[in-house]
Amino acid sequence: MWALAIFLLLAIQDTDKERMMKVQADQWLALVDAGDYGKAYDALSESTRKELPRAEFVKSTEELRDYVGKLQMRKYKSVEFVTNPPGPPEGEYSAVQYETAFQNRPVTEAVAFRLEDGKWGVIGYYMR
């Protein structure tokens, strides 16, 4: 009985964590969707802002969104968490994925996060 209660409690915590990540990704994507690339840059993690100049982020994001065209539809797909993946610095990472239709093409969109100083910060925006 206790094992079931603990399992359910952990499942609820995981669901809350996934929901929190989706909300953060939705809020960040709303800035990008509005073309407010400067505010989207300001919402990146501190470490990402140190490595990526504002002008470069704004230009590349604007070019990407111009290429795919106007947003038509976005459907939440998943949230994934990983600890110490190969390649990047050690830490906790998450990616929120969406199936998205833009005017010029459908894509899988992902907003990547890293836990820094107890706070999840956006570290990347990807389409494939």
The number of distinct structural domains making up the chain is: 1
H helices within 34-91, ranges in order? 37-42, 46-51, 54-68
DSSP code at position 44? B
15: pLDDT confidence band, cut at 50, 70 and 90? confident
Sequence-distant (≥ 6) Cβ neighbours of residue 28 within 8 angstroms: 40, 43, 111, 122
Range of the domain at 44: 2-127
H helices within the chain, ranges in order? 2-33, 37-42, 46-51, 54-68
CATH number at residue 111: 3.10.450.100
Please give the Cα distance from 55 to 13 (Å, whole number): 38
pLDDT digits (tens, 9 = 90+) for 41-100: 999 999 999 999 999 999 999 999 999 999 999 999 999 999 998 888 999 999 999 999
Q: Tokens in use for 10?
A: 């952990």
